[in-house]
Structure 1
């Protein structure tokens, strides 16, 4: 049994309090990142330090794959740290904290969103990093598939992978895999997916896929529908402990 945490934007609370802001991505897709997907810098630091103090084992994707293949005994207190979308705040704020503590995490990359060249941090938008900056964070982050141009949605119920034909979805998966080193692990954009998407990933030999459904991951959890828990800003420590499955 293990918990997976998912983060998007890690920012100082003053930036979060400025309100929702638009995304600004390389392929021009227009959207805004909902405020519940932001976590404040102070809380993030405290949560990471809590996990260290409580001697949690920080999982790798290889260990999770081996767990579901029956080749890895999961430590009792295990957590997988994941980040979605590779925003500039991941580099500016999250990366130094994890690097200083000698931790590793997973970053799901919508490669069509990533810029060719670095630009200055822009607090007024949610802007992804550049490919050179991804390389610069590779000592902390393991990069996996989050689609190439399919990180798009219609409302809160459908992602592009759900309305496109399977052939197009497969082509997009392969396009993303040209840029990420881990080619058999996926995160559903916005957490939106259907059974056809699960079937396609299985046909394409993906070993793991992550949702944004809350909860713990058990031995009998479908590895192509793994649970992840969003950590919002100023989450009380008691609630964070509940997410981890800790009992009073």
Structure 2
């Protein structure tokens, strides 16, 4: 069994004084990142140091597929680290810390959000990276599907839930033109329904991650895998408790 952790932005404490950060993305979608989806660099380092001290192995998506679909064993202490959306802080702060600790992570990419132009780091916004910047970090990160333009919400529905299955499938194919892992998906905002899963199945997707917390075992539905959101200022004691349940 293993836990999957999801992060969005890792930032120094002095950048986390406000409650939200407006996003800046290439396709113009407007939204804001709430404070709970950030994590401080101090806490992130504490969390990585704990995993390192406890000899946790950071999984690849290939290992997860082997475990869930072919009953291949995992190291006794295993964790899957994931990031969503590819904001600039991924490169500025998360990447060097993961590299320092020798850890791997998986990133779910909204490819329609990626810029063609390289922009300087902007602490006042959640600005996404460029595709070329992502390709410089493949020694730590592997990239999987988080839609091309379908990372949108209306209330408690994601765009895949109000568009046609054909349009959703076409969007998935556009994203897969960039990402290396073409059969693993993360539901934007954690929103999905039976039709969403059916389109993923028809498109050859093997795994999909929710934002529902919990441990993943061989009995977990492959298209409804658990991910624990690590919130802003989560105490290290609470983080450690995730791995003792």
The Cα offsets for residues 184-211 of structure 1, whole Å up to 9 and x where unpaired, read as 0000001111111111111111111000
Deviation at 1:70, TM superposition (A): 2.4
Query: For residues 16-72 of structure 1, what are the alpha-carbon distances to aligned partners after superposition, in whole Å with 9 as ceiling and x for unaligned?
Result: 113311100000000001111100110001101110100111111000000012242
**Any idea what the Cα deviations from partners look like across 1:105-157, whole Å, max 9, x if unmatched?**
000000000001210111111001011100111111000000000000012x1
Task: State the match for 1:11 in structure 2.
Answer: 11
5 Å matches for 1:60-99? 60-99=60-99
> Which residue is equivalent to 2:104?
104
Residue 168 of structure 1 corresponds to which residue in structure 2? 167
**Correspondence 1:1-248 to 2 at 5 A:** 1-155=1-155, 157-244=156-243, 246-247=244-245
Q: TM-score with structure 1 length normalisation?
A: 0.96
Counterpart-to-counterpart distance in 2, 1:42 and 1:185: 30
Output the TM-score relative to the length of structure 2. Answer: 0.98
Whole-angstrom CA distance in 2 between matches of 1:236 and 1:21: 22
How far has the Cα of 1:224 moved from its partner?
A: 0.7
Unaligned 5+ runs, structure 1: none
Question: Would you identify which runs of 4 or more consecutive aligned residues in structure 1 move more than 6 Å?
Answer: none
Report SS of the residue matched to 1:86.
Answer: coil
Secondary structure, counterpart of 1:97 in structure 2: helix
Distance in 1 (CA, whole Å) between partners of 2:71 and 2:221 is 17
Q: Which has the higher strand share?
A: 2
CA contact (8 A) 2:18 2:35 kept: no
Backbone CA RMSD of aligned residues? 1.0
Where in structure 2 are there 5+ consecutive unaligned residues? none
Is the Cα–Cα contact under 8 Å of residues 27 and 113 in structure 2 kept in the other structure?
yes
The 2-side partners of 1:16 and 1:46 are apart by 17
What is the total number of aligned residue pairs between the two structures?
245
